[in-house]
Amino acid sequence: MIIYCDTSFLVSLFNEEDVNYPVAREMAGEYARHDFVVCEVHRLELPAAVRAATHRDHSPLPEHVARRVINRFDRANTSKLFQSKEVSMADSVSMARSLGEAHGWREKHTTFDLWHLAAAWSLSAGVFLTFDKRQKRVASLLGMV
């Protein structure tokens, strides 16, 4: 089974100081025998989101922690902990737009929230790991537990 993690999940997984770290580790452990995938969406958003977190007004992420999270993510990719997959830009953007039309009128979804869901769908993910309740609802509707 293919496991797709969104950025909120990966940041927690790679930062032992994160409040969701224990849960992320436990959840990842439940699927340890399955295929965790990453794609262009992860490689673009995770470093940018982590760097942006260093500039938050409330509880900014210390720069050394942000750099550690990005390094751990990069090492996980290099060491093949995650399988690197490519998604079709045209297909994933089209799907993200459709998801936005279907779900974006009722609740807030960022561009990357929708793009992660579309990428997971196009990669045939069976599980979508996230700490974002809105993404989780849409993933569930798409059949990703």
User: Residue 9 and residue 58: Cα distance in Å, rounded?
Assistant: 20
User: Residue 131 and residue 9: Cα distance in Å, rounded?
Assistant: 6
Whether the per-residue pLDDT at 145 is higher than 90: the answer is: no
Q: What is the CATH number of domain 2-141?
A: 3.40.50.1010
DSSP state of 87: -
- The partner residues of 129 in beta bridges, in order of sequence, read 5
- The separation between the first and the last C-alpha atoms of the chain, rounded to the nearest angstrom, is 11
> Band of the pLDDT at 56, cuts 50, 70, 90?
very high
Assigned token pair, 55: 């500039």
Mean pLDDT value across residues 53-67: 96
